[in-house]
């Protein structure tokens, strides 16, 4: 198989020619998400011919072992393509064994030789590794002389465990790379419906006039997962749902719902507006954290008709500790955006593991008509479904056909992306990797965004950690602890649970 040779960016009209170095290249994220996304992009002709993918790990594999591993573990899960395309993809793959802590090690020499002569093309370091490796990795590539003016670095979440930790990582990475070279991934921003939310809001005239507290009663953002956390105790005990999901994914969704229209569709304009939303979030701490936040942890139950263990009994290399008993696998929060547009509108956030279904959605619940001339009836609701089956549904009131009395019925007006566009919806990572390769940071988090999110999360964590209370148990396969329902119930509202697949 011929190895692709060096080339300049101008040779490729499709995407910049790049060396994409994945640190943690044989890990779960790389094998499950990054390599499939890169293969699909390649199959669709969106990788420049001379682009190479260089996996780094401590596994001791050579190029041919690594290609064999990808053939065995990645290929079976891919959308079919032709054999020639697969061979071309394999030809892009390389593997270098490196210990990031040891800059004298031979692996660094091997990486340096592999990258030599390609200084004028884009060089991307993708850190698919735990956050404590970000600083040391950046220092190591710098000391090895591998950072070029056209280098970029991609950081996977979580970025720290609190504001101070995030600032430290940002400082360490920022000492080697300029902010415009740093791409902080939140893969929710690559999801099709998430991008469609901006188009829906800012490319249609009818929504914007009613997108405010005069018309909207409240907003719900739910990211429910049916999976548990088997084998993830080492990470999850120290993360929990608030750090793992809310600090990043759910707050990003909230920003896109709540932000003001940006002046331009450009990287800084959109991110500027998102930061303003985060800065306008009403702080929650002390007694308010008890009133406005809920923590839960799943115990044994049934999901999809199968018995599943509770969090503490999930199979794992390590036994549960005190941290395991205290960690939340579910959280619900009543947030508020303190500005003119949203004053008084609650934003309810909810996420959890081992819920009945995998379902992520944003629900915009409109207010009731000011004066109703019909009995029955319920207020309009706009549901943006992120997964599964991406789509948008507007629930309207209609008259039931019939000659008798006028009976109202809520009817869904639905747009299913799959049915309407009849095209494969790309995975979030595919979109984001293509943006990294094109050097477009719009869908990535800026330093001030990440830090503003932590600034809001930190006081909640501090309150939770200062008390003795444990998360409320909920049986796997149910919709979470009772307190999550009370969070809405005490103001006469309820979570949107309809339309489950
Ligand atoms: C990750 C979290 O960021 O997102 C996981 O670390 C979670 O705990 C995952 O399962 C959910 O992503 P998706 O795209 O499957 O909804």
Tens of pLDDT, residues 60-104: 899 999 999 999 999 998 877 789 999 999 999 999 998 877 777
CB of 244 within 6 A of ligand 1: the answer is yes
Please tell me the distance from the alpha carbon of residue 286 to that of residue 445, in angstroms, as a whole number: 29
Average pLDDT per block of 10 residues along the chain, 501 residues long: 39 70 95 96 93 94 96 89 91 92 81 96 96 93 95 94 97 97 96 90 94 98 96 93 97 98 92 97 93 98 96 95 97 98 98 96 96 88 91 93 89 86 84 94 95 98 93 97 97 83 42
For residue 351, the CA-to-ligand 1 centroid distance in Å is 11
Query: 56 burial class (0-12, 13-18, 19+ CB within 10 angstroms)?
Result: buried
**Ligand 1 atom 14, closest CA:** 188
Tell me what pLDDT residue 500 has: 45
Tell me what pLDDT residue 12 has: 34
Tell me which residue has tokens 């393509």.
Answer: 81
Classified by CATH at the fold level, domain 5-184 comes out as Rossmann fold (3.40.50)
Q: Please state the length of the chain.
A: 501
> DSSP secondary-structure letter at 445?
B
Where b means 16+ CB within 10 Å and e means fewer, 242-269 reads: bbbbbbbbbbbbbbbbbbeebeeeebee
Whether residue 460 contacts residue 285, with contact meaning beta carbons closer than 8 Å, is answered with: yes
Paired residues of 306 in beta bridges: 303
Tens of pLDDT, residues 96-130: 998 877 777 888 999 999 999 999 999 999 999 98
For residue 304, the CA-to-ligand 1 centroid distance in Å is 19
Tell me what pLDDT residue 15 has: 67
Centroid of chain to Cα 65: 31
Paired residues of 383 in beta bridges: 363, 393
Q: Residue 410 is inside which H or E element, if any?
A: strand 408-416
Domain ranges (residues) in the chain: 5-184, 189-489
Tell me what pLDDT residue 100 has: 75
Task: Count other C-beta atoms under 10 Å from residue 310's C-beta.
Answer: 19
CA count, 13 A, side-chain hemisphere, 8: 2
pTM to 2 decimals? 0.93
Whether residue 251 contacts residue 279, with contact meaning beta carbons closer than 8 Å, is answered with: no
Tell me what pLDDT residue 422 has: 76
**Domain spanning 189-489 has what CATH number?**
3.30.360.10
Q: Looking at ligand 1, which atom is closest to the CA of residue 239?
A: 6
Tell me what pLDDT residue 106 has: 80
For residue 368, the CA-to-ligand 1 centroid distance in Å is 35
């Amino acid at each position: 198989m011929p190895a692709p040779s060096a080339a300049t960016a101008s040779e490729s009209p499709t995407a910049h020619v790049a060396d994409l170095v994945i640190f943690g290249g044989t890990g779960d994220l790389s094998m499950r998400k990054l390599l499939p996304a890169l293969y699909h992009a390649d199959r669709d002709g969106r990788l420049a011919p001379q682009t190479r993918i260089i996996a780094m790990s401590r596994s001791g594999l050579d190029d041919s072992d690594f290609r064999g591993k990808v053939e065995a573990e990645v290929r079976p899960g891919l959308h079919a393509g032709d054999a020639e395309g697969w061979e071309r993809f394999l030809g892009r793959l390389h593997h270098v064994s490196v210990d990031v802590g040891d800059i004298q090690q031979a692996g660094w020499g091997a990486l340096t030789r592999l990258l030599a002569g390609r200084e004028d093309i884009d060089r991307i370091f993708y850190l698919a590794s735990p956050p404590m490796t970000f600083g040391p990795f950046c220092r190591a590539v710098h000391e090895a002389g591998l950072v070029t003016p056209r280098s970029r670095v991609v950081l996977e979440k979580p970025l720290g465990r609190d504001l101070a930790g995030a600032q430290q990582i940002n400082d360490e990475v920022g000492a080697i790379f300029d902010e415009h070279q740093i791409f902080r991934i939140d893969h929710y921003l690559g999801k099709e419906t998430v991008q469609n939310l901006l188009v829906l809001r800012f490319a249609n005239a009818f929504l914007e006039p009613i997108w405010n507290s005069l018309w909207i009663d409240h907003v719900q953002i739910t990211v429910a997962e049916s999976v548990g956390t088997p084998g993830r105790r080492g990470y999850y005990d120290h993360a929990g749902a608030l750090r793992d999901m809310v600090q990043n994914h759910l707050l990003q969704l909230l920003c896109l719902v709540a932000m003001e229209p940006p002046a331009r569709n450009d990287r800084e304009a959109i991110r500027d507006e998102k930061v303003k939303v985060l800065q306008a979030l009403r702080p929650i701490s002390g007694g308010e954290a008890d009133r406005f936040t809920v923590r839960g942890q799943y115990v044994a139950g049934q999901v999809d008709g199968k018995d599943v263990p509770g969090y503490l009994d999930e199979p794992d290399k390590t036994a549960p500790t005190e941290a395991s008993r205290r960690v939340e696998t579910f959280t619900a929060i009543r947030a508020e955006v303190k500005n003119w547009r949203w004053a008084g509108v609650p934003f309810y956030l909810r996420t959890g593991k081992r819920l009945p279904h995998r379902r992520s959605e944003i629900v915009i619940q409109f207010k009731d008509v000011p004066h109703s001339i019909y009995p029955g009836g319920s207020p309009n609701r706009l549901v943006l479904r992120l997964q599964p089956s991406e789509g948008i549904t507007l629930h309207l009131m209609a008259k039931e056909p019939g000659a008798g009395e006028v009976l109202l019925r809520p009817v869904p007006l639905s747009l299913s992306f799959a049915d309407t566009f009849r095209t494969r919806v790309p995975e979030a990572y595919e979109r984001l990797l293509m943006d990294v390769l094109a050097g477009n940071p719009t869908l990535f988090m800026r330093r001030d965004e990440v830090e503003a999110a932590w600034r809001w999360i930190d006081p909640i964590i501090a309150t939770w950690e200062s008390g003795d209370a444990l998360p409320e148990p909920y049986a796997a396969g149910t919709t979470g602890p009772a307190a999550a329902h009370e969070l809405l119930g005490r103001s006469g509202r309820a979570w949107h649970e309809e339309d489950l697949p």
